[in-house]
Amino acid sequence: MIDFHTHLPWGLGLREAAEALRAEMRRAGVGLSVVINVEAGLRTFRENVGWERLQRALREALEYSFSPRAGYIASIFLEPERALMEHERVLAEISRDSLEFARGLSGYSDLVPVISYNPDLSPQQNLERLRELGELSLGMKVFPTLHFLDPDRPSLQPLYAEIGSMGGIVIVHTGCDPGIWELPAFCTARPSSVARAARKNRGVKFVVAHLGAYSALNPGIYFKEALEALAEENVYADTSAAEPEFVERAVDEVGYDKILYGSDYPAVAGLSMERAVREVLGLNIEERAKRAITRENALKVLKGWAGWRRISASAP
């Protein structure tokens, strides 16, 4: 069993976090995890979510919907300054330096690190970090939400080329994200943008994380776009944090060859890896589709990556 989308538990040192993740993997019968780092940039956050911009976004959101969404939006609206501070606190808590992250995990043969783009660094500085790490990282994750960044932006092309030269992958968060990123103005992570980037970078595999479905208020928000993006040969999708019905529909509509099982552990509150495994094995799809999604597809992707030799050589 391979879990293609996990994170290190927050609030722990690197070693302790890696061990906590591995204990969770053993309990769930997961032999290998792709571990994705998160780096937000507080400077980028402040530049993009000023007081006025937030007010505009809230006004627009209130027009967009009353219903259950209204309560969520109202809590930000009533205490916007507290909300901004709380966002900065969470972003600082979940962010980890990618160099330290990838180097620290390099000794584990059951953890495959993927570093995060850092929006407070320039694209050139991000490129230098990638080069410095070489085969230590399977690739890079871009969060269009947290990073306020379109994955199709031209400045990212050299990064994609570098990743492609090592047979690595680019994972792109799609859908909304908790907090202000549920507001339409900030819920900008579109699979169509991933498809555009993939067309310009055929030598790189792109993974649409969460099947475009990530949203607490509007689950499945960009799911249809994710299916369209999967029509590109170098676009894959992971199942993390997507409701089982979306995974079943995706297999039904576009097949299972490019769908990768991911739990998003520990990002979904209260979700154990064990439960996520039970969920994917309980899907109403063919057994061979389950085998492909939970292992074979991931192995194919990993075997194309230059760093795989090092990992597989030291695997038990």
Footprint of Zn ion on this chain (CB under 5 A)?
264, 267
Virtual CA dihedral for 271, 40, 11, 108, nearest 10 degrees?
A: 80
Token reading at 184: 């339409």
Q: Which is nearer to Zn ion, 175 or 307 (CB)?
A: 175
Q: Which is nearer to Zn ion, 73 or 240 (CB)?
A: 240
Q: Which is nearer to Zn ion, 150 or 264 (CB)?
A: 264
In the complex, residue closest to Zn ion by CB: 264
Burial 154-169 (b: 16+ CB within 10 A, else e): eebeebbebbbebbbb
Nearest distance in Å: CB 138, Zn ion: 15
Q: Which of 52, 73, 51, 53 is nearest to 62 (CA)?
A: 73
Q: Which is nearer to Zn ion, 28 or 267 (CB)?
A: 267
Determine the Cα–Cα distance for residues 1 and 19; give it in Å rounded to an integer.
Answer: 18
Q: Which is nearer to Zn ion, 24 or 73 (CB)?
A: 24
Nearest distance in Å: CB 210, Zn ion: 7
Burial 276-285 (b: 16+ CB within 10 A, else e): bbebbeebeb
Nearest distance in Å: CB 97, Zn ion: 18
Nearest distance in Å: CB 117, Zn ion: 14
Nearest distance in Å: CB 182, Zn ion: 16
Nearest distance in Å: CB 6, Zn ion: 8
One-character DSSP codes across 149-195: --TT-GGGHHHHHHHHHTT-EEEEEEE--SGGGGSTTT--B-HHHHH
Residue 229: CA count within 13 A, CB half-sphere:
31
Q: Which is nearer to Zn ion, 7 or 69 (CB)?
A: 7
